[in-house]
Structure 1
Amino acid sequence: MTEQKKILMVIAQENFRDEEFLKPKKVFEDSGAKVTVASNTTKKAKGVLGKKVSPDISISDVNIDDYDAISITGGGGAKQYLWDNKELQEIVRKANEQGKIIGAICIAPVVLANAGLLEGKMTTVFKNEETVKILKDNDAKYRDKDVMVDGNIITGRDPNAANKYGQAVIKALK
């Protein structure tokens, strides 16, 4: 990449999926991107598998104008901390208006659905009754695939898709 791309990675304060954060982050950084981590607060966040991360910024302090892409990490904590986070929904809506790359993996695509971004979009999500219903209720075109790219929206299914998801985000940024 010529100019350094800036990617905002959002994780839940607790119970984010370690691999869905660490693998894409490595892909992003290996491609030369600068990663900023955001969460509900800047207190240490803890992953399902025990990874501790000190967020750089709280979601409420994010200015999406400072980033080229946003990637939202899944895991059980996403439901508790991110699905209904109005500030995060506003951030992704603004990113979408600006045509930025918006990614979400595992159950995090529900954030995009709740923000109204998945209407008519081909998307994937960690498959369970609740997540698929929310996507379909928001008129998303759900597909049971590792990674779906529809315009500027990139969704990944689960931890096994984390590398492929990260690569899709980078490819879209180029």
Structure 2
Amino acid sequence: MGTMNERASLPSQGKGLLVRALGFSLALLGVYLLADGGNSAETSTEKEDTMASLSGVKVVMIIAHENFRDEELLETREELLDAGASVAVASSSRTPATGMLGARVTPDKTLQEIRVDDYDAVIFVGGTGAQEYFSNRQALDLARQAYEKGKIVGAICIAPSILARAGILRGKRATCWSGESGTLLANGATYTGRPVERDGRIITANGPSAARQFGRALVEALSAGVTSP
């Protein structure tokens, strides 16, 4: 056993150790907060830069009036909006359109009201309902006009078949929902099967799981001001 003096000194030593440990912990917390604050500022700056990147850019997304694929509109549009683009939605009617998963969207305009010159990109959204545009003259003309006028043209899921039928995928790499790959091949495209494919000003994607990646590819192309065929 220690002496009375030794035993009396132990609490004092313990307090000293506790104070030093607390000081060390506070120092670590300060370093963490400083680093995190720096990261937050960097993230905020990066977000502001991204938001400014598509300021003034206009995009029109064309959806089926019934059974468009919800994510392919909503998630792709969100990526474009987050980057600062202005996004209009068009369909065969101005009455509320319904997605395969139940989303309801009121289109801003009909296909007849689209002036290609007003937009930097024309995007066709998939879903089973997109078949209404496979032989729709206005839809096919819009795809051709957009491409011929130097716009970015995008399509996802089964919608790349619209581009194929419009004749703008010949000699191009493209992807789509696998069930429509034959249409792409029959119209001269090179089918890759990738989630997202970009060949010049044409960007295609294979379905809803690729919607955000598709949106980011569109943002990248629009930010770069792609002008090559």
TM-score range, shorter-chain basis? Answer: over 0.9
How far apart, in 1, do the equivalents of 2:127 and 2:106 lie? 17
Task: Name the structure 1 match of 2:85.
Answer: 33
Task: Name the structure 2 match of 1:90.
Answer: 141
1:78 partnered with 2:130: yes
Q: Counterparts in 2 of 1:110-149, with a 5 A limit?
A: 110-128=161-179, 131-149=180-198
Which structure has the larger Rg? 2
Q: Identify the structure with the greater helix proportion.
A: 2
How far apart, in 2, do the equivalents of 1:91 and 1:146 lie? 24
Give the number of the structure with larger relative contact order, counting CA–CA contacts within 8 Å between residues 6 or more apart: 1
1:44 partnered with 2:93: no
How far apart, in 1, do the equivalents of 2:219 and 2:56 lie? 12
User: What SS does the corresponding residue of 1:55 show, helix, strand or coil?
Assistant: coil
Structure 1 counterpart of 2:136, which letter?
Answer: N
How far apart, in 1, do the equivalents of 2:55 and 2:190 lie? 34
1:62 partnered with 2:111: no
Q: 1:2 deviation in Å?
A: 6.0
How far apart, in 1, do the equivalents of 2:186 and 2:70 lie? 29
1:157 partnered with 2:202: no
Alignment identity in percent? 43
Q: Judging changes above 3 Å, is the alpha-carbon distance between structure 1 residues 134 and 151 closer, same or farther for their aligned structure 2 residues?
A: same
How far apart, in 2, do the equivalents of 1:95 and 1:48 lie? 27
Q: 1:85 deviation in Å?
A: 1.3
Runs of 4+ in 1 over 3 A off after TM superposition: none
* Kept after mapping to 1: 8 A contact 2:54/2:83: no
Q: Judging changes above 3 Å, is the alpha-carbon distance between structure 1 residues 17 and 2 closer, same or farther for their aligned structure 2 residues?
A: closer
How far apart, in 2, do the equivalents of 1:168 and 1:85 lie? 27
Q: 1:70 deviation in Å?
A: 0.9
Task: Name the structure 2 match of 1:171.
Answer: 220
TM-score (norm 2): 0.73
Q: Identify the structure with the greater strand proportion.
A: 1
How far apart, in 1, do the equivalents of 2:86 and 2:186 lie? 35
TM-score (norm 1): 0.96
Instruction: Answer with 138-147 or 2-11: which moved more.
Output: 2-11
Alpha-carbon displacement from aligned partner over 1:110-139 (angstroms, at most 9, x marks no partner)? 0000100000100000001xx111111101
Alpha-carbon displacement from aligned partner over 1:23-54 (angstroms, at most 9, x marks no partner)? 00000000000000000010110000000000
Q: Counterparts in 2 of 1:2-41, with a 5 A limit?
A: 3-41=55-93
User: Could you say what the CA RMSD is over the residues aligned between the two structures, in angstroms?
Assistant: 0.8
Structure 1 counterpart of 2:184, which letter?
Answer: L
* Kept after mapping to 1: 8 A contact 2:164/2:170: yes
How far apart, in 1, do the equivalents of 2:88 and 2:66 lie? 18
How far apart, in 1, do the equivalents of 2:212 and 2:122 lie? 16
